Amino acid sequence: MQIMAYQAIYRKWRPAVFEDVVGQEHITKTLQNQLKTGKISHAYLFCGTRGTGKTTVAKILAKAINCQNPKNGSPCNECDICRGISDGSILDVFEIDAASNNGVDNIREIIEDSKYVATEAKYRVYIIDEVHMLSQGAFNALLKTLEEPPEHTVFILATTEAHKVPQTILSRCQRFDFKRIKTEDIIRRMREIAMGEGLSVTDDAFGLLAQLADGSMRDGLTILERCVSESGDSLTYDAVSKALGISGTAPLFAMADAVNDGNSAKIFEIIEQLMSDGRDLNNFIGNLIEHYRNLLICKVTDNTEKLIDREAEEIIKLKAQAERTSFEKLSGAISALSNAKNEAKWANEPRVIYELALIKLTRPELNSSFDALLDRIEALEEKVKEGIKVAVQKEEKTPQKEPVKPHKQPSARLFVPVDISTLTPESPCVAAARAWDKISRQISKKYPFIASTVLGRRVTIDKEGIILIFEHNEVMSKELANKHRQEIEEVINQAIGSQIIAKTAFLDDIEDNIIDFWKIGAKKEHQNNTIQDLDERFPEIVEDIDSSEFISYKPQDDDFEQVEMGGEEDDDEEEFLDENERESEE
């Protein structure tokens, strides 16, 4: 009993003539014209993504070059030569995989073999697939043969990464770039194959299959065959979604509507349903990003049919949904979801990352990014221009069983400017800054786990308190200080006998136009009098300061030049601190 070997659908329905090749008419017509006129090149280079027909066209070209009865530039597929090439019985056509035969010796064998005339066909044809995988030595060996090839030899090179092929090879070949196949072309070809195979496939199932093919005819047919294996000869949209474990387009539209309407509960429901159905959440978020990209295109241009590779019915839905949202929301969603996708790669619970990102999109007040703050400011400005009163949202307070002394938080602004004229040696902020060295040692002694964060730390002040300055590469130290700000403030306030707050800042983030005790800003016309002005306002602080200790600090504004005061702790600082400690004890 003879057993017939099963043949995959994409191999069974591989085009045998140029007319059957899908979506590459710009290439097939050119090759047909060359064959009609007899102007055959000695070397061709086929470039393009997977599944677009590079190897298929190469085999058709090999048959057409040698066909005894060509028809309109295509092979007849009936003569002995065409049949022999199709079944591999004629040895004048060689197909080589450069991924596994990429050495110099492999190419030398081809070069030696190409010197001999064809035994049965007119030409010896060498099809080298994935040619970019050849080694540099192999390319060099092939170069001379491509430059002066034998008259009876034709080379057809195929690659998915043309940029890896040396320019010396590219310049000796006729290059043809294969395009990604359009969704409508994939659907049309799939209908023909489904009819030939006796399959019943709904229109929306065809649309989903073509979308998943992502421009590759071979991928689309492979997905179709997989779905048929699981669901049988009758395929629907739900059957394809279930077979492949994907969500389809319906949840994408539902999620975008939920975000736009601010419906947080709906977001959780959609994600829960996806997880219950066994869908891949990472894949869904990737599709959702692409969905927002399509909505963005619909929002900014009318030429959507050329820019979005979707069916006409889906494009209509996209346009309708894009009308209900704004450009800012769409761009913000793409940015937020892209960041969440990157963050989820390293998270133990990626679902929580995605849920939080989507919830933040429904509540702009939770988004503290720079762009979001700008958007909110612009919205407020528009309301003010229109004469609309902007209601201030009151912060909701959770009732507590026992009265708890609230911890004083820093203001929303990073720094609050302070006028030098208001400062005195007795000012709490000045006292804390002058005695910081001793205070930092007390903090380290009481809380050793933050010793490395405060010891030797540069400080400055503003109107509200003392500011610990960090370099841009001290992110972890800054976070540790923020986490234990209450402990730092506790020691500072005990030391100076007053209540101030502690802040943290990167050195590069300190505003250039802030005037404070440690960072003095002065107009250029008065810059030479900076130390003298400071001396007149509080001489007790400056009497021991040498002007050489003032250095220029990163001037970034034409109107200001920043100076920074250095120096070591003196005995007066300890005496001043001791006096405050004694007063607090009394």
Residue 520 dihedral angles phi and psi, to the nearest 5°: -100, 125
Say whether pTM exceeds 0.85: no
Give the mean pLDDT of 259-267: 91
Range in 9-13, 256-260, 456-460 the model is least confident about: 456-460
Identify the bridge partners of residue 520 per DSSP, sorted by sequence position: 563
Q: In a 3-state reduction of DSSP, which class is residue 516?
A: coil
> Is there a contact between 234 and 240 (Cβ–Cβ < 8 Å)?
no
Token pair 């016309």 is at which residue?
525
Q: Which of 457, 428, 423 is nearest to 440 (CA)?
A: 457
| C-alpha 189: how far from chain center | 33
**pLDDT given at position 445:** 85
* For the ranges 106-110, 126-130, 533-537, the one whose mean pLDDT is highest: 126-130
CA 167-170-173 angle, to 5 degrees, is 155
565 DSSP β-pair partners: 550
* Better-predicted residue by pLDDT, 304 or 164: 164
Question: Closest by alpha carbon to 232, among 194, 261, 268, 260?
Answer: 194
Residue 403 has pLDDT above 90, yes or no: no
Domains plus CATH for the chain? 9-177 (3.40.50.300), 183-244 (1.10.8.60), 250-375 (1.20.272.10), 420-580 (3.30.300.180)
pLDDT average, residue stretch 17-41? 92
Longest dimension (CA), the chain: 114
- Residue 554's φ and ψ, nearest 5 degrees, are 40, 65
- Residue 89 confidence (pLDDT) above 90: no
pLDDT digits (tens, 9 = 90+) for 48-60: 999 999 999 999 9
Which residue did the predictor score with more confidence, 389 or 153? Answer: 153
pLDDT of 367 higher than 80: no
Residue 33: the pLDDT is 93
CA gap 251, 267 in Å, rounded: 10
Locate 89 and state its tokens.
């019985």
Higher pLDDT, 283 or 5: 283
Q: With beta carbons less than 8 A apart as the criterion, state whether 157 and 45 touch.
A: yes
Note the helical H segments in 308-411. Answer: 312-323, 327-344, 350-362, 370-385
Q: Is the pLDDT of residue 283 over 60?
A: yes
d(Cα 544, Cα 499) in Å, to the nearest integer?
Answer: 28
H-type alpha helices, 126-280: 136-147, 167-170, 183-197, 203-213, 217-231, 237-244, 250-261, 264-276
Measure the CA–CA gap between 173 and 346, rounded to whole angstroms.
45
Q: pLDDT digit string (tens) for 197-254?
A: 999 998 888 988 998 888 899 999 999 999 998 888 888 888 888 888 777 788 999 9
Q: pLDDT for 523-569, tens place per residue?
A: 333 333 444 444 454 455 444 444 333 333 333 344 333 333 334 44
Contact in structure between 440 and 455 (CB atoms under 8 Å): yes
Backbone φ/ψ region at 224: left (φ over 0), alpha (ψ -120 to 50), beta: alpha
